[in-house]
Amino acid sequence: MKYKIVNLLRDIFPFFITLFLWRLSTPYLNPSGILAIIPIFYYSFIRPTPYFTGYALLFCFLLDYKFNTVLTWTIFYSIYYVVMNIQTMLDLTHTNKNGLYAFLLFAGSVIFFIMLTHVGWTSIFMSFLMFITLSVCYIPITHIAKAVNHD
């Protein structure tokens, strides 16, 4: 019974952490719940989890809703998902640092695209800050995920 509960908690953790980070949005540190993109990326590409793709799409959509960026995160996520699953050259499930560089490429390209829609000093600064925040938080969050999943 005890193990069943533990396994259940382990199974729902990816869904839980995504919602948790999305809900705890706060300007500057977690604008519009952007940190939720870390578990979305990790559980979609680095450690694929059953039934997570639909959930990830939904939360990309919710990120877009809060950001007021019409389907940008959703479309970029879809593109990455399709590209990563079609190609056979790169295997992100076996990369160093939990796929940090792949994540930075993904997040960086979306943030850069959003920044390009309105170029200004504030926009550049805020985009840079968001990128730094994501870069710094990626390793701790994925380490927690790894610890929970006993990887």
Q: State the residues that interact with another protein by CB under 8 A.
A: 16, 19-20, 22-27, 31-32, 34, 53, 57-59, 61-62, 65-71, 74-75, 78-79, 81-82, 85-86, 111, 114-115, 117-118, 120-123, 126-127, 130
Which one, 61 or 101, has the nearer CB to another protein? 61
Cβ closest to another protein, residue 50 vs residue 96? 50
Q: Where are the beta strands (DSSP E) in the chain?
A: none
Taking the complex as a whole, how short is the minimal distance between the CB of residue 107 and another protein, in angstroms?
Answer: 13
Min separation Cβ 27 and another protein, Å: 5
Q: How far is the C-alpha of 14 from the C-alpha of 124, rounded, in Å?
A: 31
Longest CA pairwise span in the chain (Å): 57
Q: How far apart are CA 94 and CA 91, in angstroms?
A: 6
Phi, psi (5° rounding) for residue 146? -65, -40
Q: Which is nearer to another protein, 127 or 142 (CB)?
A: 127
Q: In angstroms, give the least distance from the CB of 70 to another protein.
A: 6
